[in-house]
Amino acid sequence: MPLASTFNPSAPSATSGQGSAVLNRESLDDQLTVLEPQLTPVQSMLPKGTAKSTFEEWGVDTLSSPNDDGVSEDADVSSYDDKFASVARIGNYVQKFRRTFKVTEEQNAVTSAGPLNLVKAESKAMLEIKRDIEKALCSANDMQAQTAASVPYKLRGLGSWISNSAQTTNPVPSEYRTPAASILAAAPTEITLNDVMASIFNETGEVEGLTMVSGIDVRKKVAAFTRTEGTTRTSAYNVNQDATSRTVTLSVQLFETDFGFVRLVNGNSACLPTSGTAYILNPKFLELRTLTGLGLRSQRQENQGSGERGYVAANLTLVCKHPQAHGKIQYTP
């Protein structure tokens, strides 16, 4: 007995005999998988504050160098120091982020997998704008003032704050820029990463609270520190582990150097400039300020006949209170 023909939904037959499979029900999961990295570690770790202007400013100061000359017993005070001579004012523009969404009346009414309705569209816009913000925070963009409709405000990203070079707009004074020793332009080794940590310690005197948000290549390089010593002998770092767990742990979450601990966090590969980028951050000296005070906000718009619509928006900036308290690794793998 011949088998019934199989129904092809993409090219159904024009005749009445389409095969027994024509009435077979589809198997479609009621779940929509987003195949994109969604992590926003920098955005999540930063302290939050409120902006009061489209250009947020703050003051920075420094101490004079230590002096061990001593003072003569009979010396009178004849001169006085201006303790605020080194005070400088730096700032950053508030950048506006926005993602729109729209769903037709028909699509919102039908039963769909996902489901593909207005709420799902709004949720997706939320995820997209969070990644937009993360990309801006992790960028090497310099700040930009709005001069026309096509030239909007832009915030200065971490790559430009953690820099020894002069910025174009409202530059950080040279005495407050990140030291060159805190910036590594090559793949890290145990020695060079320790040098970066030493430079950061030299500026802040602190040994705790650092987090390294790493690209894939940097994270792999740091993990390899514990595998081999990097010489022609390639001797491994040995670890004794209870075999009853049947799990071999090779993940490095906390790296200890001579100048403190640094916690390792995977960055979003879609938001970092390169896989060879890592920011060594002290959140104590960073802040994310929102102009509206609400962070992300969703606004539904008028249905003009074709369906529900709206947008998700945020107005915020990155405050870097101490550019010398952070470090950077950036190279092309």
More confident residue, 37 or 136: 136
- Are residues 331 and 170 in contact, defined by beta-carbon separation less than 8 angstroms? no
Rounded Cα distance between 164 and 178, Å, is 5
- Are residues 275 and 141 in contact, defined by beta-carbon separation less than 8 angstroms? no
Does the pLDDT value for residue 34 go beyond 60? no
More confident residue, 106 or 244: 106
Describe the strand order of the beta sheet including 254-257 as a list of residue ranges.
183-184, 327-330, 277-281, 210-214, 260-266, 254-257
Q: What is the mean pLDDT of the chain?
A: 83
Rounded Cα distance between 317 and 49, Å, is 10
Q: In the predicted model, what is the mean pLDDT of residues 205-216? A: 88
Rounded Cα distance between 159 and 318, Å, is 12
Beta strands in 10-109 (DSSP E): 48-50, 55-60, 88-93, 95-104
More confident residue, 208 or 330: 330
Omega before residue 283 within 30° of 0, cis: no
The tokens for 3 are 């088998």
Does the pLDDT value for residue 315 go beyond 50? yes
Question: What pLDDT score was predicted for residue 252?
Answer: 61
Does the pLDDT value for residue 279 go beyond 70? yes
Question: What pLDDT score was predicted for residue 309?
Answer: 87
Please give the single-letter amino acid code of residue 285.
F
Rounded Cα distance between 251 and 224, Å, is 10
In 3D, which of 285, 333, 327, 322 has the Cα closest to residue 183?
Answer: 327
Question: What pLDDT score was predicted for residue 1?
Answer: 44
Does the pLDDT value for residue 90 go beyond 90? yes
In 3D, which of 97, 101, 121, 119 has the Cα closest to residue 40?
Answer: 97
Question: What pLDDT score was predicted for residue 115?
Answer: 66
In Å, the largest CA–CA distance within the chain is 121
Question: What pLDDT score was predicted for residue 244?
Answer: 61
Looking at the chain, the whole-number percentage of residues with pLDDT higher than 70 is: 77
Which residues have a Cβ under 8 Å from the Cβ of 12 and sit 6 or more positions away?
Answer: 18, 22
Q: In the predicted model, what is the mean pLDDT of residues 14-26? A: 59
In 3D, which of 315, 290, 268, 311 has the Cα closest to residue 125?
Answer: 311
In 3D, which of 171, 158, 170 has the Cα closest to residue 286?
Answer: 158
- Are residues 252 and 225 in contact, defined by beta-carbon separation less than 8 angstroms? yes
Does the pLDDT value for residue 249 go beyond 80? no
Rounded Cα distance between 150 and 25, Å, is 51
Which residues have a Cβ under 8 Å from the Cβ of 129 and sit 6 or more positions away?
Answer: 97, 98, 99, 296, 312, 313, 314
C-alpha pair distances (Å), 10 with each of 7, 17, 245, 296: 9, 16, 50, 42
How does pLDDT run across 130-141, given as a tens digit for each residue? Answer: 999 999 999 999
Does the pLDDT value for residue 186 go beyond 70? yes
Mean pLDDT is lowest, of 81-85, 103-107, 231-235, 254-258, for: 231-235
